[in-house]
Structure formats: C-alpha cells, structure tokens
C-alpha cells in the first residue's frame, strides 16, 4: 500500500509539472514596509474565483474566469480593495504588483471565505493574532480558542496542555510545529509528545494557524484533538530592541536586526538575526534562578523568478530550579507555605538547536512544490519528586529523566489546481519523514541531583515515521465544496535496553481517511461538516513490548458547525463535535511502566464570539463545554482524570497604530474530576490579566500585569499518593503547583 501511494505521488508530480503554460499572476505588497503580504484573500464578486496569497504575496490567476473583470482583495490588517483587471500593469513575465495599505482591522471588513484547506477557524485565528498583544511565550498557545496551559515544574519545562476534553499532558494529542519543524518529542523521557515551545521568540510570530479535530490529511501523528502551526516572520519591518523588568527579579531583553539592505521596491530578500535573554527568580519561596537564551537567524528570498528559499537556524539554552507539586496537607498544617517546596532540589536544563532549509517553486501551470529538510539537536535533563518518600524512605523519591536526541526530517508538498468533471478542483499530495535517534534515554532515582540511587530505565531508541497523504478538493458550485483525502503512516521502532542487553523491534501502521464539506450560504454565513480518522503513536518502549499491536492509537472524530457574521461588527464561530479513541498502551515516563489506557469518548460544544464595540475597541469570548468519559467501565468510575469539562477565555482590547493601546483578559477553568470516580476534585479558577501600552513613532512602552486581583489559585493539580518524611504511611490527595500571584512587568521597545 505504501509503495503504491508513493508511486502515485511521484506520478502526479511528474504529470502536472510537465503541463506547462504561461499564466498571469499578482504580487501583493505592503505599502509601508514594501514586503510581500501573505494570507490575503483575492476573489471575484460571485466567488467563482477565490485564492489566498502565499508567503511571497503571490496569487496565480491561472483559474481566473474569463467573464470576470474585477478582483476583490481583503485581509486582516489591510484596507479592502476592488481592482479592475484592465487597470493592472503586467510586466513581461505576466506579473502585476498591487500595493496594500495597512490599517487596524474593523470587523466590518472581514469576509467569511474559509475553506476546508484553510480551515474554518482561519478567520478567527488571523484576527486574534493581529489584535491581541503577546505578552510572553505562554501567550502564544493561548491564542487557540479553548486551549489552556499550566506550568508545574519551573519556567523551563514544557507546559501542561488542555483542549477539547483532553488533559494532553505535554502534547500527547496535539500536533505542534514551528516553520515546519516538529515541536513534539515522540518517545520522550518525560512523556509522549512532549512539546516545549520555549525556543520560539514571541515577537517573531507572524501568524498562528490552528484547527481542532482529526480532519486534515497533511497532519499526522498526535493530531487528534487538533493542531497548531506557528509561522515566524520572513521579514522584519524594522530593527528593534526591547527590554522588560518586573517583580521577582524578572528581566528580559530581545533584539531583532536586519542584515540585508533593501534594494528594490519590493523587498524580495531578507536576512535577520534575533536574540532573547530571560531571567527570573519566580514567585516561589525557593528561587527558580531561571535562565533562558534564544537566538534565531533567518533568510528568506526569491532565488528565481518562480522560486523562493527559506533558511532557518535557531538555538535555545535553558536551566532552572523548581518547587514542583506540593500536597494540600503540607500547606494546611503549616509545614510549608502556599509557594513552598517539599524537595527544593527539583529543576532541570534543556537545549535545542534547529536547522531548516525550505525551497518553494511555482510552476507555470499554477502548481506549487515545497521541499523542506530539517535537523534538530535536543538535550533534556529534569529532576522531579512527586511522591517524596513513598518508594525510598531513606533517600527520597527524586527522579532524573534525561536524554539526548538527533531529529532528521523531510517534508514535501505539491498542490495543483485543475478541472475535474468540468469543476474547479485542487489536488494536494505530500510526503513526511521523521527519524529520531535518542541516546541514553534514562529514568533513575537520585538524591540531591548528585547521587544515583537506582537505575530504572536506560537505553537507546530509534524511531522512524514515514507518512504519505493525498487529498482532492472539488468546488461543485459557488456554495459547496467537498474535500476527500487520506494518509498512510508507517512506524519502525527499536529499543536497545542497556539494563537487560536486549534489543526489541516493532513495526506498525495506520490508514487515516478524511471527508470534509463546506457550504457557503453567502459572505456572512458558512456551514461545515468535517469527518476524519486521526491517531497518536505511543512510546517506543511500549510499542516494542506489544510488538506493534494497537500502539498506534486511532481516533474517529466529527465536527458540525459554522461561522457567521452578524451585522457588520460580530463574528460567531460554533461547533458540535465528537471524538472516540480506541485502546492504547501508555508509557508512564515518571514510573517506567506501561499502563492500559482503554477506550474513551468525548463530545462537546465550542463557541467563539468576536464583537467590535466601537472603532478600535473589541470584545471576545470563547466557551468550551464537553463530556469526556472512559468506555466499558462503570459509569460512576468513567471520569477521565483532569480532563476539562467547561472552560472559557475572553476579554476586551483597545488597539491603535499609535498612542494608547490596552487589553483586559480572563481565563476561567471550572472544577474537574481528579480521579476516575470524581471523589477528588481539581478546583477551578478565574484569573484576570491586563496590559497597557503607549506607541510612539519609533518607540513603545507598556506595563503588563498577570492576576491583577491577586487571586490565590492552583495552576496544575494531580491526585497523587505520596509520603512525607515524618509520615508512617502514604496519603492520596491533591498535589498542586501554585499559580502566578499579582505579577507586574514594565517594557520599553525602540525601533530603528
């Protein structure tokens, strides 16, 4: 099956590349920055033609209807235009340049034009990132409606993620990428899918694409609850230096510098460097001494009339101390304070170095081919203590999780518009290959980070995932389009167990069909029905023990909903959804054991609302209601621990190009079960954050405050059995990491 699909993929590439013809196209350019403008919708009045500009601002007019004479151009952050084709000046290469004027978006400019490829959430996502300030790296993920995060082991560890009735741990069922680089770490020493986004500098984020569910052929492993892909800027509009200082000895400095001067009217080449340094002691009684250093060098440019190349190099180095998770009883009896620690030797260090080269080519037949090669060098060392003295009453239960890995990968995508049964269609196919070589992946018991008291797991992992996908989108009429697709994934796993001198192998695979419908009633209402099978792989150490059986966990999902524009100033996104997951085997990295996961079912309702109260003044709210349950067990014992049942985020935003800007935002997580029978409850919280900035011509200053009402709350909670040093027996109860108290930071930016 895999060989057949590979041959089919190569056939389509060769067939369509050979069908060359000369076609017209347009480049969209920012009037002020003179840089290409991506993600702008170009369409005709009757929607017989609708396309979105690529990262080079290019839109092919190959499929432009001969009977049409004008183009409508609209996009978040730019003035809407209608241009007659006769007014365009095409050069000798049949290319015309259209200049777009930046502006603060009004919801009256937004046109509902989402498609099954772009995603039903694209309008909401583009609007939010354009309007909302990003205060820190954690805020990046919070741009996704319904997604919550929590930190429970110091500022350098990946956050715990919650979405659509999932406690995703650190990334088990959400696929995260940055510029095509995978963020998730499969077969990680701390947990499957571990996703550390701290190598991203927030100020460099250009856009965030996301979707929920398992309905997208180009998204493979871990994309069950959904996916989030981050795109960093190809162009810096201007150089900048930014500094921040705040409570708890918090300091941060960022700079971005262009290394190439603009020579042409269109800036078709860019090379810039950006660096970040962060330090904080944190609000815990035990100072975190958190340090993080980031650097990124990025080149993007047109390397031919129809080709562009993107080269990215980035680096992260981070280390920290942590107070970990503390038991309720120790705080209640005064043994420690609310921000105290039982084991003050927790913490860790990590580093990641990335290299990526991507080449995109636009063929004369309107097809687009992308090829990307990437490499990551990753190291991780974490010290934790969840049970204190339960397992080892003498030395304590501190553990070390450690690994060093090399990731090699290749992504290729070809997309071509064509005619199918006299209907406009879009064919997309691609190949994705990832190989992880993980050395000395370790789980050991330690004392004070220095002495190893017991080796629990130690070995080398080799994991290969190869996937191929294809999909066909056909536009039946100006109202209805259908996208059918499928992907095939193959896994080869090897574990060299150094404690038993045994090498184990497993091979497994999965086929994932998808079928999506979009029905556009008009430019204010679009309905959709998405269906698909997705999956997540399990840890190699679980896969080899099961000889590959049922370790690639399938998930079947369906969404039905719509996006509506009500009047001129309100946008509503809503969906009813269902997701069912089959039997899985879960490797518990903190204990080095494999547990039976069982079947689960989740269904729920999502609602997102965006409203423009007046010019430059916006309100938004997102609500998520769901019922996550385990199947084939007693109903009274079917609760899924820590899975959220109701959550909401929202707030107000005032945004102008110059002068005063500000936001007031809330996060609300309701109570949720902490164990299978709901006898232990993880308490909810309602937190409010605020930010105020003033922008001048070449500078900006501001203040941001987290938890402005200084609420005492528990950011992460677990029902854990532990034993303190002076206790005769262990006790099971809530263990938690306290959330941020009132935390103010000042910032100043200078642009040059």
CB-CB contact of 56 with 25 (8 Å) = no
> Average pLDDT in the 255-282 region?
88
On whether the CB atoms of residues 545 and 187 are closer than 8 A, the answer is: no
The CB density around residue 294, as the number of other CB atoms within 10 Å, is 22
* Residues 713 and 382 sit within 8 Å (Cβ to Cβ): no
CA 403/CA 189 separation, integer angstroms:
6
Mean pLDDT in residue range 312-335 = 94
Residue 624: predicted pLDDT = 96
Nearest to 725 by CA among 447, 348, 449, 457: 447
Look at 364 and 558; give whichever has higher pLDDT.
558
pLDDT score of 109: 72
Taking 70 as the threshold, does the pLDDT of residue 346 lie above it? yes
Which tops the pLDDT comparison, 478 or 493?
Answer: 493
**With 0-12 CB in 10 A as exposed, 13-18 as middle and 19+ as buried, what is 451?**
exposed
- Tell me the C-alpha distance between 84 and 246, whole Å: 53
Chain mean pLDDT for the chain: 88
φ, ψ for residue 446 (rounded to 5)?
Answer: -135, 170
d(CA 450, CA 442): 15
Share of the chain above pLDDT 70, in %: 92
* Band (585; pLDDT cuts 50, 70, 90): low
Q: What is the pLDDT of residue 137?
A: 62
User: For residue 717, what pLDDT is reported?
Assistant: 94
Residue 64 pLDDT greater than 80, yes or no: yes
Provide the pLDDT for residue 20: 37
The answer to whether the beta carbons of residues 183 and 502 sit under 8 Å apart is no
Model confidence at 2: pLDDT above 60: no
Pick from 410, 411, 400, 408: nearest CA to 378:
408
The predicted pLDDT at position 297 comes to 98
552-566 and 570-581 beta bridge pairing: antiparallel
Neighbouring CB atoms inside 10 A of 581's CB total: 24
Structure tokens at 427: 């064919």
pLDDT band at 136 (very low <50, low <70, confident <90, very high): low
Least confident span in 253-267, 485-499, 731-745: 253-267
At 112, give phi and psi (nearest 5°): -80, 105
pLDDT reading at 54 higher than 80: yes
Measuring CA to CA, which residue among 159, 162, 196, 166 is closest to residue 181?
196
Q: Can you tell me the distance from the alpha carbon of 154 to that of 443, in angstroms, rounded to the nearest whole number?
A: 19
pLDDT at 546: 82
**pLDDT in the model for residue 6:** 46
User: Which residue has 């609310």 as its token pair?
Assistant: 338
Confidence of residue 124 (pLDDT cuts 50, 70, 90): low
Give the model's pLDDT for residue 12: 42
pTM above 0.75, yes or no: yes
Look at the domain 194-199+208-751 and name its fold.
Answer: Maltoporin; Chain A (2.40.170)
**Which long-range CB contacts under 8 A does 627-631 form with residues at least 24 apart?**
627/165, 627/602, 627/603, 628/165, 628/166, 628/600, 628/601, 628/602, 629/600, 629/601, 629/602, 630/598, 630/599, 630/600, 630/676, 631/598, 631/599, 631/600, 631/601
Question: What is the pLDDT, as a whole number, of residue 131?
Answer: 56
Q: How far apart are the first and last CA of the chain?
A: 56
- How confident is the model at residue 116, as a pLDDT? 45
Cα angle 498-503-508, degrees, rounded to a multiple of 5: 130
pLDDT of residue 672: 96
> pLDDT tens for residues 391-429?
999 999 999 999 999 999 999 999 998 888 888 899 999
pLDDT at 180 over 90: yes
Half-sphere exposure of 469 (CA within 13 A, CB side): 29
> Which SS3 state, helix, strand or coil, does residue 367 take?
coil
Cβ atoms of 230 and 205 within 8 Å: the answer is yes
Which two structure tokens, joined as six digits, stand for 531?
């269906």
Give 6-41 pLDDT, tens digit per residue. Answer: 444 444 444 344 333 445 788 898 888 788 888 888
pLDDT of residue 11: 40
Q: Averaged over 110-115, what is the pLDDT?
A: 63
Strand order, beta sheet including 41-43: 50-52, 41-43, 70-75, 78-84
Residue 402: which of 188, 171, 151 has the closest Cα?
A: 188
| pLDDT value of residue 34 | 80
Q: What is the pLDDT of residues 207-229, one digit of tens each?
A: 888 889 999 999 999 999 999 99
Number of H helices, E strands in the chain: 5, 45
């Amino acid at each position: 099956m895999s060989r057949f699909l590979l041959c089919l993929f190569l056939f389509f590439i060769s067939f369509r590349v050979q069908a060359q013809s000369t076609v017209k196209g347009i480049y969209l350019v920012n009037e002020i920055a003179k840089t290409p403008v991506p993600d702008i919708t170009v369409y005709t009045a009757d929607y017989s033609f609708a396309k979105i500009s690529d990262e080079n601002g290019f839109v092919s007019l190959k499929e432009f209807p001969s009977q049409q004479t004008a183009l409508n151009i609209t996009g978040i952050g730019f003035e809407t235009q209608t241009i007659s084709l006769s007014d365009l000046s095409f050069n000798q290469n049949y290319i015309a340049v259209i200049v777009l004027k930046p502006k603060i978006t009004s919801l009256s400019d937004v046109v509902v034009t989402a498609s099954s490829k772009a995603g039903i959430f694209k309008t909401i996502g583009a609007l939010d990132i354009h309007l909302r300030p990003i205060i820190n790296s954690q805020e990046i993920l919070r741009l996704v409606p319904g997604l919550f995060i929590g930190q429970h082991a110091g500022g350098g560890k990946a956050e715990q993620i919650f979405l659509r009735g999932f406690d995703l741990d650190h990334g088990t069922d959400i696929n995260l990428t940055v510029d095509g680089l995978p963020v998730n770490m499969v077969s990680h020493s701390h947990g499957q899918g571990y996703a550390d986004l701290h190598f991203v500098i927030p100020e460099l984020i250009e856009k965030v694409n996301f979707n929920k569910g398992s309905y997208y052929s180009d998204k493979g492993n871990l994309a069950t609850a959904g996916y989030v892909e981050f795109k960093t800027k190809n162009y810096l509009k201007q150089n900048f230096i930014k500094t921040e200082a705040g409570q708890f000895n918090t300091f941060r400095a960022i700079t971005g510098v262009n290394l190439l001067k603009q020579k042409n009217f269109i800036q078709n080449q860019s090379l810039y460097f950006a660096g970040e340094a962060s330090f904080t002691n944190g609000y815990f009684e035990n100072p975190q001494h958190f340090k993080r250093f980031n650097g990124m060098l990025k080149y993007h440019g047109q390397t031919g009339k129809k080709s562009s190349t993107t080269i990215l190099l980035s680096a992260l180095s981070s280390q920290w101390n942590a107070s970990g998770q503390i038991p309720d009883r120790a705080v209640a009896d005064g043994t420690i304070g609310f921000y105290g620690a039982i084991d003050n030797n927790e913490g860790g260090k990590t580093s990641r170095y990335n290299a990526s080269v991507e080449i995109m080519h636009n063929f004369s037949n309107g097809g687009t081919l992308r090829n990307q090669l990437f490499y990551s060098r990753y190291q991780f060392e974490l010290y934790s203590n969840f049970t204190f003295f339960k397992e080892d009453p003498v030395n304590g239960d501190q553990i070390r999780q450690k690994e060093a890995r090399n990731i090699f990968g290749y992504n290729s995508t070809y997309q071509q518009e064509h005619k199918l049964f006299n209907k406009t269609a879009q064919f997309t196919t691609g190949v994705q290959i990832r190989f992880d070589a993980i050395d000395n992946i370790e789980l050991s018991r330690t004392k004070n980070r220095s002495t190893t008291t017991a080796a629990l797991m130690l070995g080398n992992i080799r994991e290969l995932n190869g996937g191929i996908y294809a999909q066909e989108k056909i536009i039946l009429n100006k109202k209805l389009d259908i996208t059918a697709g499928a992907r095939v994934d193959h896994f080869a796993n090897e574990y060299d167990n150094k404690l038993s001198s045994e090498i184990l192998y497993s091979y497994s695979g999965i086929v994932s069909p998808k079928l999506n419908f979009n029905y556009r009633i008009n430019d204010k209402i679009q309905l959709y029905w998405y269906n698909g099978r997705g999956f997540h792989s399990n840890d190699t150490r679980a896969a080899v023990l099961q000889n590959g059986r049922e370790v690639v966990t399938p998930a079947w999902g369906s969404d039905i909903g719509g996006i509506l524009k009500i009047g001129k100033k309100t946008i509503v996104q809503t969906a009813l959804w269902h997701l069912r997951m089959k039997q899985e085997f879960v490797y518990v990295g903190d204990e080095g054991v494999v547990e039976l996961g069982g079947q689960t079912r989740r269904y729920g309702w999502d609602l997102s609302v965006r409203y423009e109260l007046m010019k430059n003044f916006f309100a938004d709210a997102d609500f998520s209601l769901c019922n996550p349950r385990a199947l084939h067990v007693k109903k009274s014992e079917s609760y899924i621990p820590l899975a959220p049942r109701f959550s909401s985020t929202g707030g107000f935003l005032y945004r102008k190009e110059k002068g005063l800007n500000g936001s007031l935002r809330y996060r609300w997580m309701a109570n949720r079960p902490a164990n299978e029978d709901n006898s232990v409850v993880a308490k909810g919280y309602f937190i409010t954050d605020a930010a105020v900035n003033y922008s001048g011509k070449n500078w900006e200053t501001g203040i941001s405050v987290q938890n402005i009402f200084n609420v005492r709350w528990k950011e992460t909670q677990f029902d854990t059995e532990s034993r303190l040093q002076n206790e005769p027996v262990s006790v099971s109860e809530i263990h938690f990491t306290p959330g941020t108290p009132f935390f103010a930071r000042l910032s100043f930016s200078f642009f040059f």
